[in-house]
Structure 1
Amino acid sequence: MAAAGVVKTYGAGDGAVTALRGVSAAFTRGRFTAIMGPSGSGKSTFLHCLAGLDTVTSGTVALGEVDLTALSRTRLTELRRERLGFVFQSFNLLPMLTAEENIRLTGRLGNRRADRAWFDTIVDALGLRERLSHRPSELSGGQQQRVAVARALLTRPEVLFADEPTGNLDSRSGAEVLGFLRRAVDAYRQTVIMVTHDPGAAAHADRVLFLADGTIVDELTAPTIDAVHARMRRMEG
């Protein structure tokens, strides 16, 4: 996946706000990238543009040979369902469905039968086997987010997007979710792009992109918590 010269402007005239100012970045298959920056830096907007959840004002976003910015709304919806996965801060589970039904939901919407062995692999890796018959109200926040991760991975997406996936979790639950995302990259060559404000979360990634005022201003490979803290302090100072 790659973005080239992405500009995103909201509104027009004197009231226009430019959230992204010509952002370019490439994301290698089987790598974990974290995106960080101060509030208002454009990090969530960039993630949404990469994922086809928001349109770009100019520039391109490509998934392989497909230019997302050139697709119709219908085709973009189909591509998101078939080739991308999403995990958000709010778990977005349907309360009337069991954990298993929520996990299988995306595949059913796309008329895709999930491979049973792959279903078993992710359910067991996420420790959800004993919770499959439970509804979201019967699950902890960490368990709900693990269900959301399993749902996102069930269709084997080319890219998994995660927007503050640990934002509503306690530190232990958050560490469990991040640990599984890391394992998904290492064991299954999953590509993960994650927005976070937490240096501890970013330290699970292979690299961190730092945004400020709608542009990428820094990049850190093999991040540690201390190194991420230092870069963020430098940006905010």
Structure 2
Amino acid sequence: MGERDVRAAAVSAVDLVKVYGSGSAAVRALDGVSVAFGRAAFTAIMGPSGSGKSTLMHCLAGLDTATSGRVVLGGVEVTALSDVALTKVRLERVGFVFQSFNLLPELTAVENIRLPLELAGRAVERALFDRLATTLGIADRLGHRPAELSGGQQQRVALMRALLSRPEVVFADEPTGNLDSRSGAEVLGLLRASVRELGQTVVMVTHDPVAASYADRVVLLADGRLAGEVLDPTPDRVATALGHVGAGR
């Protein structure tokens, strides 16, 4: 992977290493991972438990610091930034969708959605706000607090919050993990639509071959290293590839 490829991608890892602990207790969660994630594409990261998939996403998103190697997001080498600069990048250039929704219970849906922009000192794009609220089907739920919303509605609020800032990348960590199958399929469809209709870049960690089949590409990890990829994934192709990765451990 050349430097031009690294800079052209939405986000890239170059020789990324992450070690937890030290001495005999050290765990090498990432072991020299180099991978690029294209712009306006939906990529899933998969692998067996302990493969390093969540660690990779956290390092790409600036939620965790790498032991060595580089992360380049939108042309900016985030692994070289100070804590203050990294916080600014997370606020302004990254969107997050987590399994647990991470909505503040005392705020209404609209207040939760606007919060990251307010923290970054940015104005809300009204046209985009209205389009997202309509597309996500929550226009009539914006005045409600999280406890008054279903799980699927809460995840739609979280997705709108992530998309409203027009981030370089939306990172989704098991976004359907707390949803029933119908709500999960709807959220995955909306992530897919954000790529096709808004040109959004989405990187998602999942363990579910069906969820991964919504992506354009699946990146496989095993024991902290790249273990292949699946293009134009289907649930069967993803399950087969995961089986091979697991068998090779």
TM-score range normalised by the length of the shorter chain:
over 0.9
| Residue 56 of structure 1: aligned partner | 66
RMSD: 0.7
Q: 2:119 aligns with which of 109, 112, 137?
A: 109
Query: For each residue in 1:169-205, what CA deviation from the matched residue of structure 2 results, as whole angstroms up to 9, or x when unmatched?
Result: 0000000100000000001110000000010110000
Which residue identity does 1:38 align to in structure 2?
Answer: P
For normalisation by structure 1, the TM-score amounts to: 0.99
The corresponding residue for 2:222 is: 212
Alignment TM-score, normalising by the size of structure 2? 0.94
Following superposition, the deviation at residue 130 of structure 1 comes to: 1.1
Paired residue secondary structure (1:21): strand
What is the SS of the residue equivalent to 2:167? coil
Q: How far apart are residue 64 of structure 1 and its match? A: 3.0
Distance 1:121 1:68 in 2: 31
- Mapped to 2, the partners of 1:172 and 1:198 lie a distance apart of 14
Aligned-partner residue type, residue 98 of structure 1? T
Instruction: Tell me if 1:28 matches 2:14.
Output: no
Aligned runs of 1:19-168 on 2, under 5 Å?
A: 19-168=29-178
Percent sequence identity is 64
Give the Cα separation in 2 of the matches to 1:232 and 1:67. 31
| Equivalent residue number for residue 19 of structure 2 | 9
In structure 2, the partner of 1:233 is 243
Residues 163-178 of structure 1: pairs in structure 2 closer than 5 A:
163-178=173-188
- Structural mapping, 1:195-206, within 5 Å: 195-206=205-216
For structure 1, the 5+ residue unaligned runs are none
- Secondary structure at the counterpart of residue 168 of structure 1: coil
> Secondary structure of the equivalent of 1:38?
coil
Runs of 4+ in 1 over 2 A off after TM superposition: none
Unaligned runs of 5+ in 2: 1-10
Q: Give the deviation of 1:13 after TM superposition.
A: 0.9
Is the 8 Å Cα contact of residues 20 and 29 (structure 2) preserved in structure 1? Answer: yes
Q: 1:196, 1:21 → 2: CA distance?
A: 20
1:222 to 189, 208, 232: 232
Letter in 1 for 2:131: T
> 1 CA distance for matches of 2:147 and 2:78?
36
The answer as to 2:193 corresponding to 1:183 is: yes
Kindly state the Cα deviation for residue 87 of structure 1 after the two structures are TM-superposed: 0.6
d(CA) in 2 for partners of 1:206 and 1:65? Answer: 22
* Contact 2:74/2:168 (<8 A) preserved: no
Alignment partners' CA distance in 2, 1:22 and 1:135: 43
Give the CA deviation at 1:145. Answer: 0.5
Give the number of aligned pairs.
Answer: 237
Structure 1 residue 134: Cα displacement: 0.7
